[in-house]
């Protein structure tokens, strides 16, 4: 049994990690920190965890408390893990960061998209990007893993097969995606209160959302080396707790059909335990609580556009479930351990 810590366990992704790890056959939580909730019992903040963690109390983060752990999950807000990552990597064999701090390989992108320079640019090269369906071989045994954002996971898995096989022009891609409110985190914000979100549907981050370069970086990794990758990404906030649905558009780079697009999805994903290729339009409800992503595609001969769709649970495959999947690979555990492919319905 490997001992793990969850730094930032009091947030939504941290609590989801606790939920998933409670049912993991090979991982045991021994440290759970939450600075804003230090001294609070996990069961009082998240009553759903009462049976699994009846006595767990959130601690203040102290790097020395991670000594002797086999692996640490960092579920901190953007910018927070940059300051402590060097210390953590020196103390723990495996660190998995769920934030955006180490996802981008190019340090010069952080001031442009995140509004501030990176505090530890020398560590960026140490991190493997944690999307198993694209980078699995690099994740096995990895010491430092940066888990993707929920939007980039959805968009990448929808589009990667078509970029990889030269079926779409990667320089003319459009991604429209809608996320549940939990993607904004646990702390209350004026635009995420019930009254603000209920009966509303809105776009945000127009033209400059920080996940844009992450999506482009992922697709560049699978595109032919000579091809430019450019994505117009527009996120939306939907009045639901969980889930992301991405509708992606591209221009064909060769002769395609709906059948050939579905064939490409099946070729890339039929062996993947957490990707389901469906002929029906994917839905967020179908993936609720599971680590699966559902994908499909169509070609519209009338307008000449390829449409690729993907749906997932933003807190599971879009965050904590994917982090557990990466932890399994890093520790040499069965990749599917502790993760469900079955959603909750209705």
> Catalytic residues, which ones?
150
Q: Residue 346, preceding bond cis, omega within 30 degrees? A: yes
Report the relative pairing of strands 94-97 and 173-179 from DSSP bridges: unpaired
CB 69 within 8 A of CB 92: yes
DSSP element (H, E) containing 135: helix 132-139
Q: Which two tokens stand for residue 162?
A: 């078509």
Q: What is the distance in angstroms between the CA of the first residue and the CA of the last residue of the chain?
A: 34
Burial of 254 (C-beta count, 10 Å sphere; 0-12/13-18/19+)? exposed
Q: Which two tokens stand for residue 277?
A: 């290729």
* CA nearest to 110, candidates 208, 210, 232: 210
Q: Quickly tell me which residue has 């560049």 as its tokens.
A: 220
Compute the distance between CA of residue 78 and CA of residue 126 in angstroms, rounded to an integer: 18
Q: Quickly tell me which residue has 């559902």 as its tokens.
A: 294
Apex 149 CA angle, 147 and 271, nearest 5: 65
Strand partners, 199: none
User: What b/e string do you get for 147-157 counting C-beta neighbours within 10 Å, with b at 16 or more?
Assistant: bbbbbbbbbbb
User: Residue 305: helix, strand or coil by DSSP?
Assistant: strand
User: Residue 129: helix, strand or coil by DSSP?
Assistant: strand
Q: How far is CA 225 from CA 164, 166, 221, 229, 254, in A?
A: 11, 12, 8, 10, 18
């Amino acid at each position: 049994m490997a001992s793990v810590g969850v730094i930032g366990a009091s947030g939504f992704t941290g609590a989801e990690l606790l939920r998933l790890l409670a049912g993991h056959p090979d991982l045991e939580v021994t440290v759970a920190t939450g600075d804003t909730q230090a001294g609070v019992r996990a069961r009082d903040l998240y009553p759903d965890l009462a049976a699994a963690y009846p006595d767990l109390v959130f601690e203040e983060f102290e790097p020395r408390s991670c000594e002797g752990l086999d692996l640490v999950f960092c579920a901190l807000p953007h910018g927070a893990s940059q300051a402590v990552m060097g210390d953590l990597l020196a103390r723990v064999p495996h660190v998995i960061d769920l934030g955006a701090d180490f996802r981008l390989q190019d340090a010069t992108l952080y001031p442009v998209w995140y509004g501030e320079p990176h505090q530890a640019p020398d560590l960026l090269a140490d991190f493997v990007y944690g999307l198993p369906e694209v980078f699995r071989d690099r994740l096995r045994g990895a010491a430092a893993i940066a888990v993707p954002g929920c939007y980039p996971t959805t968009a990448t898995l929808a589009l990667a097969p078509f970029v990889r096989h030269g079926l779409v022009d990667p320089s003319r891609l459009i991604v429209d995606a809608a996320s549940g409110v939990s993607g904004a985190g646990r702390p209350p914000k004026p635009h995420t209160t019930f009254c603000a979100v209920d009966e509303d549907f809105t776009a945000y981050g127009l033209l400059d959302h920080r996940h844009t370069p992450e999506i482009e970086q992922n697709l560049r990794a699978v595109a032919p080396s000579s091809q430019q990758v450019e994505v117009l990404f527009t996120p939306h906030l939907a009045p639901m707790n969980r889930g992301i649905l991405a509708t992606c558009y591209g221009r064909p780079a060769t002769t395609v059909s709906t059948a050939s697009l579905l064939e490409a999805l099946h070729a890339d994903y039929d062996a993947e335990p957490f990707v389901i290729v469906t002929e029906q339009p994917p839905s967020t409800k179908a993936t609720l609580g599971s680590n699966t992503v559902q994908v499909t595609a169509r070609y519209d001969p009338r307008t000449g556009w390829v449409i690729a769709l993907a749906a997932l649970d933003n807190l599971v495959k879009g965050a904590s479930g994917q982090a557990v999947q990466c932890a399994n690979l890093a520790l040499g555990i069965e990749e599917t351990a502790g993760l469900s492919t079955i959603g909750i319905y209705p």
